[in-house]
Amino acid sequence: MILWDVNTSIATWVSILVILGIGHGLVLNAQNFATQAIALPRDEAAAAAMYAFLRSFGMALGVGICGSVFQNVMKLKLEQLGLPVEIARNAEAYISVLHTLADDSVYKGKILESYVYGLRGVFGLLCGLAGVAELTSLIIRHFDLNKELETEHMLHENKLSRFINQGDKLAFDV
């Protein structure tokens, strides 16, 4: 994503976003199992709950941090190009103004360049953070997912389970 610019084709960014979406989906779901594997016996549920909480908290924190980085980096580019820096403070609202400008306008081109620069700042931050996470992952030792579940929770037989079990027995008796 750091390679995107104003003229990146739709096919290119759609392809990249699909690949990223698949990667995120695989990694985020796998982390829940890894968290439970690392947890001590009988603490798996608490580990899963803590992972879910920290994931949600991290997303909220990430949106705020990335929004701030975007605005500040975009503001730097706007200053370099001699454009009003207020655009960075209201970048989302300014998109409606961009739609009213002529497509061949030099002014519009400079503003779009500032948006791209701001996004590259966010992508650069996230790439750096991913690099730190990768280095940190090298110190995590191996844990086996194949362990017995220790719990106090038990399934007790009730009328519904007896009915289902009788139905299963009748189906197999035929």
For residues 158 and 9, which has the higher predicted lDDT (pLDDT)?
Answer: 9
- Looking at residues 49-60, what average pLDDT do you find? 91
Q: Are 143 and 37 in contact (CB under 8 A)?
A: yes
Does residue 167 register a pLDDT over 70? no
pLDDT digits (tens, 9 = 90+) for 140-149: 888 877 777 6
Q: What percent of the chain has pLDDT over 70?
A: 92
Does residue 173 register a pLDDT over 60? no
pLDDT band per the 50, 70, 90 thresholds, residue 2: confident
Q: Are 70 and 91 in contact (CB under 8 A)?
A: yes
User: What is the structure's pLDDT at 18?
Assistant: 94
Contacts of 90 (CB under 8 A, 6+ apart): none
**Alpha carbon separation from 167 to 23, 156, 161 (Å, rounded):** 43, 18, 10
Is the pTM of the predicted complex or chain greater than 0.75?
no
Does residue 155 register a pLDDT over 80? no
pLDDT digits (tens, 9 = 90+) for 112-139: 999 999 999 999 999 999 999 999 989 9
